[in-house]
RNA sequence: CGGGGCGUGGCGCAGUUUGGCUAGCGCGCCUGCCUUGGGAGCAGGAGGCCGGAGGUUCAAAUCCUCUCGCCCCGACCA
């Protein structure tokens, strides 16, 4: 490709829309442009990178017996009604009607359509296992798209679905995908750490997310340096505290006037106590019925854990009216003493003594509240957000925290969709059983963004060889020097003939401009052709990653490049 | 959806508080000269319904009302 013809408009300045480095560089390097919030047009260089990542994914999916399919993006509402998600998905689903008024959505994911596809064809255990995957656009009307490709409303995703006859076979599918993911991200040039995760709306219980650690990540990952335990913070298990020795102080329960003090900060400041001596009483509506959750003042409730503990379908914070009706007090003064609704308490509550709690009366709190004496708890459970510094649930270590970008996730779905949608097979004994499913996603665009987050310097992107849009750029210092121009064109033809992906910067620009663009776009290898070295029969090879440069005889340029492409940059020393 | 901010040539911004006469600057773009190992210089030039609609006024980028879009923080989510 000739640089003069390449449609890759680079920018000297960063458009104001971009906040994080990968987003800025993708715009500046001319990989993509925004068309609407959370939607992007890929330009030639950006598309080439996307395609390379897709190809790596394809190869690894095929290697574990995945078969590629292409599924509709526009999906009929009926399928989603069968699974129950037409109602559950809410505003995040793009919905549309055809001219007859029939309802459709732009697929946010493809469980329904793939299950429908499989149920009509799979009859026998002999057809299993089956692993199907697709790579295509998905649509989610995110409440807050952000950070370029990191969280778009239109995004490219690879999804594989596995169909198995029993849990053991599902286990094989799951771990095959898990290990394929390790290879995929490694080949793409990023470290992605598998962590235990929550399965969210997709369903199922066993699931891992693949996280690229980066400050711009939207998730908090907790990991234990001692034993290797790693989990998304929303999933990370809490450890019930060991029973504290010594009898707690049991002072008399006392009501105090606490005007305007409705938050833990205000109360603890007002009363001169520490937040960890206060109990937060949060009121929720679980399937429409009020329940209270008790959390130590300096902790945060994890709604996912509460939902699991309650085994409820819906869970939402109670509205002000419900709180008033249930506790007799406005928001901020609820407490466990005298409450008649079920009380679910985090383990940490077990060890509190003489705590500060709401009095269920406006502008009043109770001090010296004690478990058993003053209130009883329905159930103790792990309800709080686990944080860095908390004990590891698997060993004696202490958890540390890091931000992570979720580039992939693998789920064991079980029979949630196959039961709801009637995807069954007959086993050897002729018994009809639901197929057992798994699903395995990779955000393609997000992976590209994550690669850039981890592979850049102040000059621009540093593409790993495997996914670089082009491997080599040839930069003649001056195209007006006929010797340089000729040598450049000759090398260009030779590299192309050898199957090397190469761009020739044939523009009549000053060398500085060409170097800056080459660095910004991030070609892994650059061959600079200048008059001085050319006279000595040499050209200069430069590694983008290390800036290492060396003059080599012209006849050695092609072999050197082929070696680097084959054995990696580090082989060229 | 709550809070905050921003919409002015392709990009980055000034001008808006205190309406005023030809709407500016840097970068980029076009032409010519010159220059060629890290975003050169000189000269000339093109390009803007000031997001949109309505209103106030002799006069609106600037004031008022409504509206659309975008970004950030939060809540939420494979």
pLDDT tens-digit readout, A451-501 = 999 999 999 999 999 999 999 999 999 999 999 999 999 999 999 999 999
Boundary (domain end) residue, out of A381, A413, A441: A381
| Rounded distance in angstroms from the CA atom of residue A204 to the C1' atom of nucleotide B3 | 36
- Residues 301-320 (A) near nucleic chain B, CB < 7 A: 303-304
| Range A249-256 average pLDDT | 83
Confidence of residue A269 (pLDDT cuts 50, 70, 90): confident
Q: How many domains does chain A have?
A: 3
Q: Which nucleotide is nearest to A216 (CA to C1')?
A: B72
Strands (E), A311-426: 315-317, 343-346, 355-358, 364-369, 379-381, 400-414, 424-426
Please tell me whether residues A182 and A277 are part of one structural domain.
no
- Contact between residue A343 and residue A303 where contact means Cβ atoms under 8 Å apart: no
A409 touches strand B (CB under 7 A): yes
Interface predicted TM-score (ipTM) over 0.85: yes
- Contact between residue A243 and residue A351 where contact means Cβ atoms under 8 Å apart: yes
A199 touches strand B (CB under 7 A): yes
A203 touches strand B (CB under 7 A): no
Flag whether pLDDT at A248 surpasses 80.
no
Examine residue A442 and state whether it is found in any structural domain, yes or no: yes
| Rounded distance in angstroms from the CA atom of residue A461 to the C1' atom of nucleotide B11 | 20
Please tell me whether residues A56 and A192 are part of one structural domain.
yes
Examine residue A341 and state whether it is found in any structural domain, yes or no: yes
Please tell me whether residues A405 and A544 are part of one structural domain.
no
Flag whether pLDDT at A202 surpasses 70.
no
| Rounded distance in angstroms from the CA atom of residue A263 to the C1' atom of nucleotide B73 | 20
A134 touches strand B (CB under 7 A): no
Domain that holds residue A540: 470-571
Q: Which nucleotide is nearest to A158 (CA to C1')?
A: B78
The C-alpha atoms of residue A105 and residue A126 are separated, in whole angstroms, by: 34
> Residues 6 or more apart from A175 whose CB is under 8 A from it?
none
- Contact between residue A293 and residue A306 where contact means Cβ atoms under 8 Å apart: yes
Strands (E), A418-569: 424-426, 432-434, 436-443, 456-457, 460-461, 472-476, 502-504, 525-529, 538-543, 549-553
Q: Which nucleotide is nearest to A9 (CA to C1')?
A: B10
| Rounded distance in angstroms from the CA atom of residue A572 to the C1' atom of nucleotide B11 | 39
- Contact between residue A146 and residue A106 where contact means Cβ atoms under 8 Å apart: no
The DSSP element (H or E) to which A45 belongs, if any, is helix A44-63
- Contact between residue A527 and residue A473 where contact means Cβ atoms under 8 Å apart: yes
Please tell me whether residues A109 and A220 are part of one structural domain.
yes
A379 touches strand B (CB under 7 A): no
A536 touches strand B (CB under 7 A): no
- Residue A21 is predicted with a pLDDT of 95
Give, as one character, the DSSP assignment of residue A125: G
Examine residue A14 and state whether it is found in any structural domain, yes or no: no
Q: What is the CATH number of the domain that holds A551?
A: 3.40.50.800
Flag whether pLDDT at A91 surpasses 80.
yes
Token duo for residue A135: 């790579």
The C-alpha atoms of residue A527 and residue A525 are separated, in whole angstroms, by: 7
| Rounded distance in angstroms from the CA atom of residue A36 to the C1' atom of nucleotide B23 | 29
- Contact between residue A560 and residue A572 where contact means Cβ atoms under 8 Å apart: yes
| Rounded distance in angstroms from the CA atom of residue A153 to the C1' atom of nucleotide B38 | 39
Q: What are A120-133's pLDDT values in tens digits?
A: 999 999 999 999 99
| Rounded distance in angstroms from the CA atom of residue A9 to the C1' atom of nucleotide B53 | 35
- Residue A114 is predicted with a pLDDT of 94
Does A27 sit behind a cis peptide bond, omega within 30 degrees of 0 on the bond before it?
no
Please tell me whether residues A93 and A32 are part of one structural domain.
yes
Token duo for residue A260: 């305007």
Degrees to nearest 5, angle at CA A341 with A335 and A342: 95
Give, as one character, the DSSP assignment of residue A223: E
Flag whether pLDDT at A314 surpasses 80.
no
Q: What is the CATH number of the domain that holds A411?
A: 3.30.930.10
| Alpha helical stretches, state H, A272-330 | 303-310, 320-327
The C-alpha atoms of residue A505 and residue A525 are separated, in whole angstroms, by: 13
């Amino acid at each position: 490709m000739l640089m003069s013809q390449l449609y890759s408009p680079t920018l000297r300045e960063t458009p104001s829309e971009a906040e994080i480095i990968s987003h800025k560089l993708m715009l500046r390097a001319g990989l993509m442009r925004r068309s609407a919030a959370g939607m992007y047009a890929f330009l030639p260089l950006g598309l080439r990178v996307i395609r390379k990542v897709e190809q790596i994914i394809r190869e690894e999916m095929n290697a574990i017996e995945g078969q590629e399919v292409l599924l509709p993006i526009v999906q009929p509402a009926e399928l989603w009604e069968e699974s129950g998600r037409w109602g559950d998905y809410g505003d995040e689903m793009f919905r549309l009607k055809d001219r007859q008024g029939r309802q459709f959505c732009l697929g946010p994911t493809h469980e329904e359509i793939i299950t429908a596809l499989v149920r009509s064809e799979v009859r026998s255990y002999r057809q299993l296992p089956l692993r199907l995957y697709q790579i295509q656009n998905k649509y989610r009307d995110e409440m807050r798209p952000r950070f370029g490709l990191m969280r778009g409303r239109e995004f490219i995703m690879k999804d594989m679905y596995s169909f198995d006859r029993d849990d053991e076979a599902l286990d094989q599918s799951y771990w095959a995908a898990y290990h394929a993911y390790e290879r995929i991200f490694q080949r793409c040039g990023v470290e992605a750490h598998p962590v235990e995760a929550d399965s969210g709306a997709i369903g199922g219980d066993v699931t891992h997310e693949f996280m690229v650690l980066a400050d711009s990540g939207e998730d908090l990952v907790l990991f234990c340096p001692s034993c290797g335990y790693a989990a998304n913070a929303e999933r990370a298990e809490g450890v019930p505290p060991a029973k504290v020795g010594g009898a707690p102080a049991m002072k008399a329960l006392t009501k105090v006037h606490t005007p305007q003090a409705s938050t833990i900060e205000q109360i603890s400041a007002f009363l001169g106590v520490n937040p960890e001596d206060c109990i937060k009483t949060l009121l929720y509506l679980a399937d429409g019925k009020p329940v209270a959750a008790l959390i130590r003042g300096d902790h945060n409730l994890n709604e996912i854990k509460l939902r699991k503990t309650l085994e409820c379908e819906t869970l939402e914070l109670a509205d002000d009216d419900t709180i008033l009706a249930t506790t007799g007090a406005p928001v901020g003064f609820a407490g466990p003493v005298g409450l008649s609704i079920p009380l679910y308490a985090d383990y940490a509550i077990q060890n509190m003594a003489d705590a500060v709690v709401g009095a269920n009366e406006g502008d009043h709190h109770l001090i010296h509240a004690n478990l058993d004496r003053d209130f009883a708890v329905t159930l103790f459970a792990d309800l709080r957000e686990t944080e860095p510094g908390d004990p590891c649930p698997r060993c004696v270590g202490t958890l540390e925290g890091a931000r992570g970008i979720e580039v992939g996730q693998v789920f064991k779905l079980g029979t949630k969709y196959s039961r709801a949608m009637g995807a069954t097979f007959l086993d050897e004994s002729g018994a009809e059983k639901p197929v057992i499913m798994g699903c395995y996603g990779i955000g393609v665009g997000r992976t590209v963004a994550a690669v850039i987050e981890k592979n850049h310097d102040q000059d621009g992107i540093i593409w790993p060889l495997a996914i670089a849009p082009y491997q080599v750029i040839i930069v003649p210092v001056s195209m007006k020097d006929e010797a340089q121009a000729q040598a450049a064109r000759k090398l260009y033809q030779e590299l192309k003939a050898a199957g090397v992906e190469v761009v020739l910067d044939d523009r009549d620009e000053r060398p500085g401009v060409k170097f800056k663009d080459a660095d910004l776009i991030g070609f892994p290898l650059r061959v600079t052709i200048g008059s001085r070295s050319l006279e000595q029969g040499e050209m200069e090879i430069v590694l983008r990653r290390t800036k290492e440069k060396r003059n080599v005889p012209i006849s050695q340029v092609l072999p050197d490049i082929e070696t680097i492409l084959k054995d990696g940059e580090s082989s060229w020393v």
